[in-house]
A and B are shown apart, each in its own frame.
Chain A
Amino acid sequence: MHDSTRSKPAWKRRLLGLALSTGLGFSGMVGATEVNTTGLAVTDDTVKVGILHSITGTMAISETGSVEAEMLAIEQINAAGGVLGRQIEIIQEDGASDWPTFAEKARKLLVQDNVAAVFGCWTSASRKAVLPVFENENGMLYYPTFYEGLEQSKNVIYTGQEATQQIIAGLDWIAEEKDAKTFYLVGSDYIWPRTSNKIARKHIEDVLGGTVVGEEYYPLGNTNFGSLINKIRLKKPDVVYSSIVGGSNVAWWKQLKAAGITSDRQTIMTISVTEDEVLGIGGENMEGFYSAMKYFQSLDNENNVAFVDAFKERWGDDSVIGDVTQAAYLGPWLWKAAVEKAGSFDVDAVAAASPGIELTTAPEGYVKVHDNHHLWSKLRVGRWNADGQAEVVYESDLIEPNPFPEGYQ
């Protein structure tokens, strides 16, 4: 990026802040300079934040829900009086499904717009691309997707689950429920499915005493699963464990159904299908199969009923809410809680105040930020119905996030 776009020198900012705060000092509100010592875009009644997702390109399919959830949360926070008495203004940038673009836009948001926090990224690749930017420019990122773990940063709050939270409890449940001994692991060929299956294999072999009868990866975008389905038929595993993503996902479930592999003949558990994906797959093709996630739209609690209603009112009756959408919704609320606890918008203060933050109003129930910047959360197993909604058949206790699981790497 160009150095010429960097922010004003510190003394100018301080002078400006001083002028503003003395001018408004009599109102009794905490002045902008006191809650903001680092030149963020904070005035006496507004604060700017960034939303950085792909709204064009391949990833738009997944990231749209996150944008909607983050906007909803911010609007609700504003309606309730804002953060430290300041209304939140959104600056939205498009990562365009391109990782260098993500890095460039992140830099723009931090350096040029001086946003106090950014809600964004979806794929691990985009997060890895922006991570050095957030660390160098000292920004704050709220990242919503469930992911492979093996990462922790002062500048990131991970509101989705890391791999062990999503995998281990789900495997325990299905092994007991279906008396499963043999597992077939399938996934798309990139880091998240491979890391997840590494953890799953270790757990199956060492803890559950089962065997992995097959482990296979297909290129992203693969649309033909005939051979894989035949191999599954031949090996007859008790459970097929799937982390196939994207356009491939639709082909995979449609072809399973067409090949006569229905839920009464084969148990399949997936960690990559949420309500969003079911829209494209078709509920009739998912009927009876299991997803392991922390959130399902059908969750029956007060917070969630209110959230689903508000979401549908804002974004239309047809909208569905998947796991990541809910996690994205948590971002602005966690940030607000941390800012108010710290009494400051400064990134260092917010980062320091974050561990221990609790949300009792989360649609998924109760969450708490761990020292490692991930969330304590539950794992649920949902059984899909033909209408595209899941029935929650299992709910774990709160699981401690453990992004660097020992012995699993």
Chain B
Amino acid sequence: MGGYTSQELTAIFVMQGFSGLSLFCVFLLMALGLAIIFGQMGVINMAHGEFLTLGAYITWMVSELATETWPWMQEFYFPLAVVLAFAGTFILGYLVEMLLIRRLYSRPLDTLLATWGLGLILQQIYRSTFGPREVSVVMPDWLMGSWAPTDIIDIPLNGLFVMGITSLMTLLVVILLYRSRWGIKVRATTQNRAMANAAGINTQRVDRFTFALGCGIAGVAGAAFTTIASTGPTTGSLYIVDTFLVVVFGGAASLLGTVVSAFGIAQSQSILEFFLSGSMAKVITLLTVVGILMFRPQGLFASKVRR
């Protein structure tokens, strides 16, 4: 790194650290919903990305409405959009569980195919409804641009925003899972469905709510990602591979595992990208993950579930 002042190098170091952190938040936010569904219920939801897309489209609709109908709302619509994105995807998730997933609990491979098909159907519905072209969500001014603590450091505001949402959602999920009656029921159902049933837990209702919640979180992720990336019918598929990677690498049933794995993958990706090219960074990250999974097939943090 010849020819650079130490001040410049510090600035780059700070910004690079932030870039890794924001990638971590993106990974974590999209993996949270899947961690609940895949981790707690064992359902491989291939349509997870399409729930994310729905959240993004809901955000776009609210933004259009705000720009065209209520211009005064322009600055404030975003929080409302996030809430609506959650509500919309939660409801869709609830219906999907009721009509489709519920019938396939004992057949994991069929679930995989069924949800993949569902994903394709949803993609085409988005395409027919919103058109095949990508749409752009108009950002409120407070989400644009960057915060510059010094002359040469720029911290993107939308990155900070995604970080905020990720922290909030993670906190909510932790509280729900480990500090609420519903969480106790979910964990009981995960550990031993028959016993949970016998103890008077309505496992069917628990399943339905768990699935819907996971989808709702995907919707929030979709809303948050409109600030950093594209909104189109296939947006969700940009994230789905990384999402599964994070969840599988972390150990399916462990929330802590998801957090650690998202952090590890994001940081190594981000650091490698800085020293190598983007494609090589991806190759090395994936090879490392595959290598580690060969020795720890159950993921970083194995759960102690009796099978």
Contacts and interface: CB of A to CB of B under 8 A. Distances in A.
A60 interface: yes
B7 interface: no
A228 B138 CA distance: 24
Contacts of A227: 16, 19, 270-271, 273-274, 278, 281
Given A234-B4, A258-B157, A281 B145 contact: no
Given A223-B238, A230-B12, A234-B12, A258 B136 contact: no
A60 B127 contact: yes
Interface stretch (A213-221, A326-334, A341-349): A213-221
Q: Which 10 pairs show the lowest CB-CB distances between chains A and B?
A: A280-B134, A226-B19, A250-B230, A218-B278, A258-B156, A227-B273, A60-B132, A282-B136, A260-B154, A251-B229
A257 B229 contact: no
Contact of B133 (A216, A231, A279): A279
Interface in B231-270: 231-235, 237-239, 269-270
B229 A250 contact: yes
B15 interface: yes
The majority secondary structure among interface residues of chain A is helix
Interface stretch (B20-28, B72-80, B95-103): B20-28
B233 A60 contact: yes
B229 A231 contact: no
Interface in A218-252: 218-219, 221-224, 226-231, 233-234, 247, 249-251
B51 to A, nearest CB: 17
A322 to B, nearest CB: 10
Nearest to A277: B134
Contacts, number: 145
Interface string B194-234: 00000000000000000000000000000001011111111
B279 interface: yes
Given A56-B127, A61-B133, A280 B270 contact: no
B74 to A, nearest CB: 13
Contacts of B237: 58, 221
B177 interface: no
Given A223-B26, A254-B227, A259-B156, A247 B146 contact: no
Q: Which of B132, B269, B271 has the most CB of A within 10 A?
A: B132
A247 B23 contact: no
Given A55-B132, A218-B279, A223-B238, A249 B230 contact: yes
A247 B271 CA distance: 23
Contacts of B269: 224
Nearest to A278: B136
Given A247-B234, A254-B228, A279 B135 contact: yes
Interface residue tally on B, bucketed by range: 35 or more
B158 interface: yes
Given A233-B12, A251-B228, A257-B144, A223 B279 contact: no
A3 B18 CA distance: 61
A302 to B, nearest CB: 28
Contacts of A276: 133
Contacts of B225: 223
Given A56-B127, A217-B278, A258-B156, A223 B136 contact: no
Interface residues of A, number: 43
B8 interface: yes
Interface in A50-92: 55-58, 60-61, 64
B282 A255 contact: no
A281 B231 CA distance: 9
Contact of B148 (A216, A224, A260): A260
B119 interface: no
Contact of B16 (A218, A219, A230, A247): A230
A280 B232 contact: yes
Contacts of B273: 227-228
A56 B121 CA distance: 11
A373 B251 CA distance: 56
Given A258-B146, A279-B136, A282-B136, A247 B15 contact: no
Q: Which of A230, A259, A279, A285 has the most CB of B within 10 A?
A: A230
Contacts of A260: 145-146, 148, 154, 156
B159 interface: yes
A222 B278 contact: yes
B277 A219 contact: no
Interface string B158-172: 110000000000000
Nearest to B152: A233
A189 interface: yes
B116 to A, nearest CB: 14
16 contacts: A64-B132, A189-B279, A222-B282, A223-B230, A226-B15, A227-B19, A229-B19, A247-B134, A251-B229, A258-B144, A259-B156, A260-B154, A279-B133, A279-B134, A280-B230, A282-B139
A223 B239 contact: yes
A259 B154 contact: yes
Nearest to A229: B19
Nearest to B14: A230
Contacts of A224: 19, 22-23, 26, 228, 269-270
Contacts of B235: 247
B305 to A, nearest CB: 33
Contact of B18 (A226, A233, A279): A226
